[in-house]
Chains A and B, each alone.
Chain A
Amino acid sequence: MRRLVPSLLLHAALVAGAALTLTPLVWMVSASFMPSGAANAVPPPFLPAHVTFRHYIELFTHLNLARTFGNSLFITVTATLASTVINAMAGYAFAKLRFGGRERLFQVLMGALVIPAQVGMMPLFLMVKGIGLVNTPWAVMIPSLASIFGIFLIRQFALAIPDDLLDAARIDGASEFEIFLRIVLPVLAPILVTLATFTFLSTWNDFMWPLIVLSDDAKYTLPVALANLSGEHVQDTELMMAGSVLTVLPVLVLFLAMQRSYIRGVMMGSVKG
């Protein structure tokens, strides 16, 4: 009984916090189903009086966002798959293979984590332009294909692989590549899933770099297209909310499906850092 009042207060605070946190997202979904102009009323309605799907239809017909969605999906999936393999190989090598200069090289990479991407952004743009990739999905992917943080995360996890396991395979005559494929990858599977989720979310959500390298509507990713539309369609609250739902929904679904491994990854990256 002594704990009843504190417990009630605590849960009231937790519920209030959850309501405040979710309100913007719930309103986004709700407003996307309101008839045009219905959201602009005093007092602002929280739920639609009539449900309509016309804004979603307009996104896919008139505004051609299916193509944009496809661009985002292609870029994100390709970059995620490629970067997961590339980071896994490098992270494993740093953790488990002996080679000269390993510690120094790793320290250089870790030190580079503090350098913000903007200091190289203008030359990177000119490079991408020079090799003729501007306005292509490949230009968008380039910065996500290998990540220092990803290599770090994999290395931390791979350190726990017992050397005996690898040496036994070597004695049995397995090549280093076979060892990586048959022994290391399965052990790394959980952290690979975590890293893939990280990469998917950050590539999907990325804005500044795609904004810089994409200039043609047909090539836009969803965030760039959405920012562009929001200028023209400032008055169309409900339509813009439908566009926001379309952009946020894939990452939200992925997060809810992968939340355990994702949350563990965030904690791991911080605690061991």
Chain B
Amino acid sequence: MSRTSERVQQRAAWGFLAPALILIGSFFFVPILAGLVMSFTDFDIYSIGRPDTIRFVGLSNYHQVLTSSEFWHAMRNTGFFVGVGGPLSVLTSLVAALLVNSKLARWKSFFRTVYFTPVVTTMVAVAIVWRYLLHTRYGLINAGLGALHLPAVDWLGDPHWAMPAIILLSVWKNFGYNMLIFIAGLQAIPEELYEAAELDGAGSVARFRHVTLPSLAPTFLFVGVMTMIGQFQIFAEPYVMTQGGPLRSTVTVVLLMYEQGFRWWRMGLATSMAFVLFAVTLVATAIQLRLQGGRR
């Protein structure tokens, strides 16, 4: 290719990239850097009107966050949601994928679409629906438990049950997404592997353990990491269903950050919370990569 055409292409490339890069630069990268700076300042409600009063306070916000029992309480709630809801959600997705992808199954695309439907719905709307479904007296879920002769649960009124209730909603809402990814993973397993295992006399359980599960390892890693990163950011579910209650048992880190930042305008403090959560997410991701990646 000639020099001139190379130069023309170079210029065209930057022209095509400009709108996206300007937008991402100014509304994504700049705020992140500004956030990093802000997390070392005492930015609060007075600073909005009088920016000249902002002072650098070093690590004091981080110190305040890391020594605050409220923050660690929110972290525990979030950790419970991630630690229990994550595996439960991945397991549900895997079971759904195995059912839909089974050779015996008919109307596969119908079931796939049905299972996927909750994923596209609006979280706020379905959280409201679930609030009524979980109602102690009039909710369908307790009616279902009653039909099975199980006792009614005060889902959203009992601090021990509120987070499990949110986990139920979140598994229902999201399992279809990972199901699709598992289906893609299952379809990528070469049929010969199963045939060879069958020739070696492996039954269906052995084939699942020694062919399906190992072949899905990369899918498990991807699904596990992406689910966890998303779940650490849980906000709308507790905001709509419980407002963090009862007894603050469903306050998550992002909900606490929202309250501090946008209700009390303690923006320096709230931003440092966001960075602590980011750091925790990175560490948890690294651990998961080590654990799951090392298995292969």
Interface string of B1-23 (1 = CB under 8 A from A): 10001101110111111011101
**Which residue from A31, A124, A243, A256 sits with its C-beta under 8 Å from B31?**
A124
Within 8 A of B (CB), among A174-233: 176-177, 180, 201, 204-205, 207-208, 212, 222-224, 226-227, 230
Residues from chain B with Cβ under 8 Å of A80 in the complex: none
Q: Please tell me if the beta carbons of B121 and A208 are within 8 angstroms of each other in the complex.
A: no
Interface: A81 (CB within 8 A): no
Task: Knowing A44-B138, A146-B24 are in contact, say whether A271-B278 is a contact too (CB < 8 A).
Answer: no
Closest A residue to B140 using CB positions = A44
Q: Please tell me if the beta carbons of A24 and B129 are within 8 angstroms of each other in the complex.
A: yes
- Bound complex: CA A25 to CA B121 (Å): 9
Interface: B275 (CB within 8 A): yes
**Which residue from B5, B8, B172, B277 sits with its C-beta under 8 Å from A118?**
B277
Interface: A73 (CB within 8 A): no
Q: Please tell me if the beta carbons of A237 and B274 are within 8 angstroms of each other in the complex.
A: no
Task: Knowing A31-B132, A251-B121 are in contact, say whether A89-B105 is a contact too (CB < 8 A).
Answer: no
Residues from chain B with Cβ under 8 Å of A170 in the complex: 5
Interface string of A1-42 (1 = CB under 8 A from B): 001001100110110011001111101100100000001111
Interface: B128 (CB within 8 A): yes
Q: Please tell me if the beta carbons of B105 and A14 are within 8 angstroms of each other in the complex.
A: yes
Number of interface residues of B (CB under 8 A): 96
Task: Knowing A92-B16, A120-B28 are in contact, say whether A204-B143 is a contact too (CB < 8 A).
Answer: no
- Measured between C-beta atoms, what is the minimum distance from A215 to chain B in Å? 10
Interface: A255 (CB within 8 A): yes
Task: Knowing A3-B104, A18-B114, A86-B20 are in contact, say whether A120-B125 is a contact too (CB < 8 A).
Answer: no
Residues from chain A with Cβ under 8 Å of B261 in the complex: 121-122
Interface: A59 (CB within 8 A): no
Binds B, one of A49-57, A60-68, A107-115: A107-115
Closest B residue to A237 using CB positions = B132
Interface: A241 (CB within 8 A): yes
Within 8 A of A (CB), among B232-272: 232-233, 235-236, 239-240, 254, 257-258, 261-262, 267, 270-271
- Bound complex: CA A183 to CA B14 (Å): 19
Q: Please tell me if the beta carbons of A89 and B16 are within 8 angstroms of each other in the complex.
A: yes
Residues from chain A with Cβ under 8 Å of B111 in the complex: 14, 17-18
Q: Please tell me if the beta carbons of A208 and B235 are within 8 angstroms of each other in the complex.
A: yes
Q: Please tell me if the beta carbons of A99 and B14 are within 8 angstroms of each other in the complex.
A: yes
Interface residues of B (CB under 8 A from A): 1, 5-6, 8-10, 12-17, 19-21, 23-24, 26-32, 34-36, 38, 43, 48, 96, 99-100, 102, 104-106, 111-118, 120-126, 128-133, 137-140, 143, 146, 172, 176-177, 180-181, 183-185, 188, 222, 229, 232-233, 235-236, 239-240, 254, 257-258, 261-262, 267, 270-271, 274-275, 277-278, 281-282, 285
